Chain A
Amino acid sequence: MSITDQLVSLRDEGLAAIVAADDLATLDAVRIEYLGKKGSLTGILRGLGALSAEERPAAGKVSNEVRVALEEALETHRAELASAALAARIGAEAVDVTLPGRARPVGSRHLIEQIRAEIVEIFLGLGYRIAEGPEVELDYYNFTALNTPPDHPARSLADTFYVRDLSGEEAAVTGESDVLLRTHTSPVQVRVMEKEAPPIYILAPGRVYRRDIADPSHLPQFTQVEGLVVDEGITFGDLKGTLDHVCKAIFGPDRRIRFRPHFFPFTEPSAEVDVSCGICAGSGCRFCKGTGWLEILGSGMVDPNVFGYVGIDSERYSGFAFGMGVERIAALKYNIPDLRMLLEGDMRFLRQF
């Protein structure tokens, strides 16, 4: 057989072997068998040296064609096999994506704290600072400096928790002790006004305590957010505008508010503030007891007597104050049927928010 014939037959064999290889390892073995250092083609090419000078160019050309053909076929088939292998792997790795994800423990924020933070956020935007103070307070800060008369019912043992005074001092006002659990966060306002000169723009959130039996709508411990502004030229209109903004931010832009004149010892003029009922939009329903309105906060212009206690000139400065119960907002906004749920730590409740 001529060397050319040998080459052609080698090519045909090789191409058949390449096509027959059904995985990459076999294919590689084929490559080595034909094109490796000890491969068949290499062997034949070594024989080229024995050819005459006339035969040599033609045989060289053919052998080169055979090498190229084998290499191309190898590459083509390798790509085919690689792609099939990848497809097989991908097929094998397919999963049911509707299976649940691997659990990551992520905690939730308590509803009251969530609302408190929301309100704080609103007031930070209005340029207020956050003020805090002790929960066990003195009668002076909780009542006296807030213009509460000595015989006021709020001071009674029936309404306010008193704490044993361990200093041995006599109670100056009523009962056995001048130490009490604050009934509002207003004492924080007094402490700030004592220390700082106007302008004052503060928000005082915190825990407060009143002697109510825990039931679906009352807790002896709850959360209040109170605000205080003292500056030159502060008006009742400013109070209205501020609370209007806040109520819309908390309850939604469609809600309306109304001011009803009221009485508080520490503000004058004073007003209670209602927000329009979210269920009936103000037309009256069971939720709002037919009135169309839900009472949400108390407010007013700081009473000049309060300025007197803290040494602020009420002729130069005026101010407003307001207070709201966060639990009440939670109950209204989330329709919480029983406020006691807020203090039980039931995981099934907490995880909802």
Chain B
Amino acid sequence: MLVSLKWLKDLVEIPVPVVELVDRLDLTGTAVESVKSAGDALDNVVVGQIIAKEQHPEADKLWVTKVDVGAGEPLQIVCGAQNFNEGDKVPVALVGATLPNGMTIKKAKLRGVESRGMNCSARELGLGEDHEGLMILPADAPVGTPFAEYLGLSDTVLELEITPNRPDCLSVVGVAREIGAVFDRAASTRASTPAETGAPVADFATVTIDEADTCPRYTARLIRNVKIGPSPAWLAERVIASGTRSISNIVDITNYVMFELGQPLHAFDADLLAKNEGGQVSIGVRTARAGEKLTTLDGAERTLAADALLITDSSGPIALAGVMGGQSTEVHGGSLNILLESACFNQGSISRTSRRLGLFSEASSRFEKGVDRTACVAALDRAAALMAELCGGEVAPGVIDAYPLPAEVRELTLRIPRLNAIIGADISAAEAGAILTRLGCAVTGSGDVLAVTIPTFRADLEREIDLIEEVLRIYGMERIVTTLPSGAGRLGELTREQRLRERIGATLRASGLNETMTYSFGDPGDTARLRDVLEEGEVLCELLNPMSAEQSVLRRTILSGLLRSVSYNQRRGVPNVHLYEIGGTFRAVDGRKQPKEHAKVAGVLAGAWHEPTWNEPAVALDLFDGKGVIEALVRELGAKRFKVRAAELPFLQPGRAAEVLVGGEVVGWLGEVHPLVLDAFEAEAPVTAFELALAPLMRAAVDAKPFTDVPRFPAVELDVAIVVPEDVTAERVEQSIVSAGGKLLDSVRLFDVYRGAGVPGGKKSMAFELAYRAADRTLTADEVESAHERLLRKVCAAVGGELRG
């Protein structure tokens, strides 16, 4: 909220300079977001005098003027207004000025004649609606003076962040009261009693409220015979400083009183209100009927939701209560009689209506946070008195006051030991009481318990804890001594899953993968891009209000995000990509409220581990680099029953795709991404990827790996090459070696796979190094030989292989 410092100083003594005021407000809960000079919007606008006026040679309606702006040569300015003469003083926007309507003044040629500035109307300067001609200034206006200074607009404006619990500070009086409490100064309020004349308002109109809940109070006054016109400078200045435009005296007064007291007001043209058979206006407050329509002030015809709150007369809706007036009863230049409304509406109803219609106004934002309904009439009186004073209005005797739900006076107790227990201080009852008194509370009692009567403008103070907060913030948070919780011994430690997740990440980094983070959102088209289909009963986990179509569902796999990152890097000339991410994936099923979240670890490898170097060529990464990463991970976790078996997965290239099993269950997949999938993600082949579910991986992990003795006797190592048909897998050959090897076979290592000369077509030769060892002795040559021969016989028979010569 914008607040003029001048205005504040009218209401309360501020005993410190602005810088300190800002600090104190920050530290007591009213954050100051900016401090601005009010005249800023009129920078580079000065008072000028027209010293020559000649017809534009090319245009009938344009004038070429010479304007004295108090410095240097008079400026030549082309001007379209007709209402001025030589010698008049006008506001002149110099080249470089940016006017309140956003227009920036530049040197220009108009119909061939150079123009160096602009002579301004009131509207162009945000000072009123008048744009009939130039704003003619009094003859004594000093030429060359900055216009803001001339108008007395040089003021400091504070932009305050008012938290939602403090609607009482959405007014100058409220902020003055808050400043008064902070500095222990009394703030004054603004009350007026208008002189009344003519027939009483009760003769003119009545008010009926359908449901007390929707409108706890509705008050109105009638002001007759007003003259609508521009506002006096002081009024225009204040509404401008508050961040709005000056429109007319009547509208400015309603805004002024709202800014001053926090109570929104609405002015109806009383002559445009429908009269009932008895010749009276019957104002009603009720909720809309389904499909009911109203054309609002902005000219839009709005179809209203069933719970929108309406002000009606006997002809139908005339205003959207608290949000926006209706066009049919709007005050206009010729309005004579004004019915002025000051009411309190249900907060939730106003909030829903303004959000539904996207209409947010100074009024609606105050109503939705809550206004003090005990002060409705005071605002009405204040505005009526100003209308009498500034618009020549005659205030009809009496106030219409429908008040079905009177405000209750709230009494709270504050236990001083409780106060100190919560904030960790030693504040006395007297000090706490004094702070609450400064805030407008009536405090009685002493000792350990205070009885506190809450002022009506502080509806947010409902509980003892609210009082504790008030005492703390005025006392000063900076005065509270810092301590650490002293509770009995407690242990900070990670759970097994948290520790394992750290270890999985660390192992992947040690294997060369870089951790990344991608969006949990996905594109509904990603499933098709991955050539995948949803599982039986599965549906996409859909956002109801996504930011964009590309991010309108939650991801089913981390792969899609990682492929986007691969593409991102490749398109920027970074071919070597090694990424992993640990994060959630989401599976939604029809009939289940929330999707299942699965923590996964996924990785991608593209390019090579590194660029070619002087001593090492770059080796293209493939499936076996991914497998190596997973093998390292499984070894680090000590997980048993690890197996990688060929599988068909829609997003992986056939023949280079596998399932990963750990602990006997499938935990994920590994392979080279299908070329068509890479095309869809605009990534270049080959890309190796894997994704593993964390839960089964962690279940299979061993917390303490078992110890086996380090061998003390030497091994005998023998190499053997076995020629087998192509479809016999390495795993099968190795398994048959292990099962044929008996107790003496210590280890098997595949060190070569060979096809070509010497090996028949359709076959391959696999070379293994076998190590024989006994735990308790050195083996003899005979022992090894007979074991080896037996092994070879069995293996060849089992896998249909033969020894390579």
Q: Are A238's CB and B165's CB within 8 A?
A: no
Q: Count how many pairs of residues, one from A and one from B, have CB atoms less than 8 Å apart in the complex.
A: 273
Q: Are A240's CB and B466's CB within 8 A?
A: no
Given A124-B494, A268-B469, A261–B597 Cβ distance below 8 Å? no
Residue among B482, B511, B569, B616 making CB contact with A241, cutoff 8 Å: B482
Given A103-B613, A165-B593, A347-B577, A207–B520 Cβ distance below 8 Å? yes
Interface string of A188-230 (1 = CB under 8 A from B): 0000000000010100000101010110000011000000010
Count B interface residues, CB 8 Å.
Answer: 104
Q: Which residue of chain A has its CB nearest to the CB of B482?
A: A241
In whole Å, how far is B418's beta carbon from the nearest beta carbon of chain A? 8
Assembled-state Cα–Cα distance A229/B547 (Å): 35
> Interface stretch among A26-34, A37-45, A83-91, A128-136?
A128-136
B583 at the interface (CB under 8 A from A): yes
Q: Which residue of chain A has its CB nearest to the CB of B546?
A: A161
Interface string of B619-640 (1 = CB under 8 A from A): 0000000000000000000000
Interface string of B65-80 (1 = CB under 8 A from A): 0000000000000000
A252 at the interface (CB under 8 A from B): no
Residue among B490, B543, B572, B609 making CB contact with A127, cutoff 8 Å: B490
Q: Which residue of chain A has its CB nearest to the CB of B579?
A: A345
Q: Are B544's CB and A163's CB within 8 A?
A: yes
Residues of B within 8 A of A136 (CB): 541, 554, 586, 594-595, 597
Q: Which of A110, A181, A229 has the most CB of B within 10 A?
A: A110
In whole Å, how far is B366's beta carbon from the nearest beta carbon of chain A? 15
Q: Are B517's CB and A342's CB within 8 A?
A: yes
Given A134-B597, A350-B514, A351-B514, A162–B544 Cβ distance below 8 Å? yes
Q: Which residue of chain A has its CB nearest to the CB of B588?
A: A166
Assembled-state Cα–Cα distance A161/B521 (Å): 11
A92 at the interface (CB under 8 A from B): no
Q: Are A269's CB and B484's CB within 8 A?
A: no
Residues of A within 8 A of B508 (CB): 107
Residue among A104, A127, A138, A342 making CB contact with B594, cutoff 8 Å: A138
Assembled-state Cα–Cα distance A292/B494 (Å): 37
Assembled-state Cα–Cα distance A59/B602 (Å): 89
In whole Å, how far is A35's beta carbon from the nearest beta carbon of chain B? 38
What is the size category of the interface that chain A forms with chain B? 35 or more
Q: Are B465's CB and A303's CB within 8 A?
A: yes
**A1-57: which residues lie under 8 A (CB-CB) from chain B?**
none
Assembled-state Cα–Cα distance A129/B499 (Å): 12
Given A136-B586, A237-B483, A344-B568, A105–B543 Cβ distance below 8 Å? no
B214 at the interface (CB under 8 A from A): no
Q: Which of A109, A213, A236 has the most CB of B within 10 A?
A: A236
Residue among A124, A137, A209, A271 making CB contact with B492, cutoff 8 Å: A124
A337 at the interface (CB under 8 A from B): no
Residue among A123, A261, A345, A346 making CB contact with B477, cutoff 8 Å: A261
Residues of A within 8 A of B (CB): 99-100, 102-110, 112-113, 117, 123-130, 134-138, 150-151, 153, 156-158, 161-169, 175-177, 179, 181, 199, 201, 207, 209, 211, 213-214, 220-221, 229, 231-238, 240-242, 244-245, 258-263, 268-272, 301, 303-304, 318, 342-348, 350-351
Q: List 26 A-B contacts (CB under 8 A).
A: A106-B509, A107-B578, A110-B514, A127-B489, A129-B492, A130-B494, A138-B594, A158-B545, A163-B554, A164-B541, A167-B592, A214-B547, A233-B486, A234-B485, A235-B423, A236-B422, A237-B480, A241-B484, A245-B484, A261-B29, A269-B423, A271-B477, A304-B465, A342-B517, A343-B517, A345-B564
